[in-house]
Amino acid sequence: MKQYLSLVKFSHTIFAMPFALTGFFIATTTSGSDFRWQTLLLVLVCMVTARNAAMGFNRYLDRDIDAKNPRTQTREIPAGIIQPKAALWFVILNCAVFIAATWFINLPCFLLSPVALAVVLGYSYTKRFTWLCHVVLGLGLALAPVGAYLAVKGHFDWIPVIYGAAVLCWVSGFDVIYALQDEGFDREQQLHSIPVWLGRPRALRLSEWLHLCTAALMVLAARLLFVEAPHTGWLLWIGTGIFLGLLLYQHLIVKADDLSRVNLAFFTTNGIASLIFGTFAVLDLLT
């Protein structure tokens, strides 16, 4: 179990999970819908299994590439810790559980489950032909608040969609920063990424613009949420402010000529930012 949790970097679930919970509690507290533990548990199952499937498939599909890259040679499949066939069965199992969970949520979630899987699994192919791979990754995580809201209400709404758009820009931006580490390798292997396309300095500028879009969307969503649910207030704004402050911090510590703190910016800063925002947003919605 420890090996498979490492394979899918289970700790990185912290990126999208707080936004999924925010979408869930927006639905249950602003529209008169009843809170149901069963729905919440099924949403959590969908979040975990969809991400497991996506990461497992990425590791399976990229196993030959990872074996050539000095930074990724120690990953479980190229290192021989997990066999490719076993990883593929792990992906299939998680896909099956994901679809089964959506069946018990509602019909719209079940009908859209293949679309969600197509996005999160399809990402793994994209760096082979387009620099938009970062955006596709962002789209996969952007489904979290939208899907959680849909699980409760059975239809879409602007506020979770705006939060989803914020997640798309946020994840795309920090994935560009993470991809800076492999710019030379990706160029040699003819793989596509924004750092390969634009070079490091301009890729960092684009990442900054994406995070400026994130800031605008987060503020817009918070403002609309306040209008729809006047009981929300300072906790949501504090969480939003800390989240955006941590986005600024990661751009201050990563430079085009100094990538020594990319991992700090990628996991630690973004993980903390998401966790703090989700905690403050949910507390505000529940109080």
**Each residue's pLDDT tens digit, 218-261:** 999 999 998 887 777 789 999 999 999 999 999 999 988 888 88
Residue 264: the pLDDT is 74
- Structure-token match 């719209």, residue found: 108
pLDDT tens per residue across span 187-230: 999 999 999 999 999 999 999 999 999 999 999 999 999 888 77
Q: Check pLDDT > 90 for residue 25.
A: yes
Count CB atoms within 10 A of the CB of residue 108: 16
Q: How much is the pLDDT for 69? A: 94
Residue listed under structure tokens 């492999």: 182
* Predicted confidence (pLDDT) per residue in 116-150, tens digit: 999 999 999 999 999 999 999 999 999 999 999 99
Q: What is the pLDDT of residue 38?
A: 96
Percent of the chain with pLDDT over 70: 100
Could you give the domains of the chain?
2-286 (1.10.357.140)
Q: Mention every residue, 6+ apart, whose C-beta is less than 8 A from residue 1.
A: none
Give the three-class secondary structure for 34: coil
Q: What percent of the chain has pLDDT over 90?
A: 82
284 contacts 276 by C-beta, under 8 angstroms? no
Minimum mean pLDDT range among 129-138, 166-175, 262-271: 262-271
User: Cα separation of 281 and 22, whole Å?
Assistant: 6
- The span from the CA of 32 to the CA of 13, in Å, is 29
What CA–CA distance (Å, rounded) separates 118 from 241? 34
pTM higher than the cut 0.85: yes
Residue 2 has pLDDT above 90, yes or no: no
Average pLDDT, integer, range 38-61: 96
β-bridge partners, 255: 258
101 or 230: whose pLDDT is higher?
101
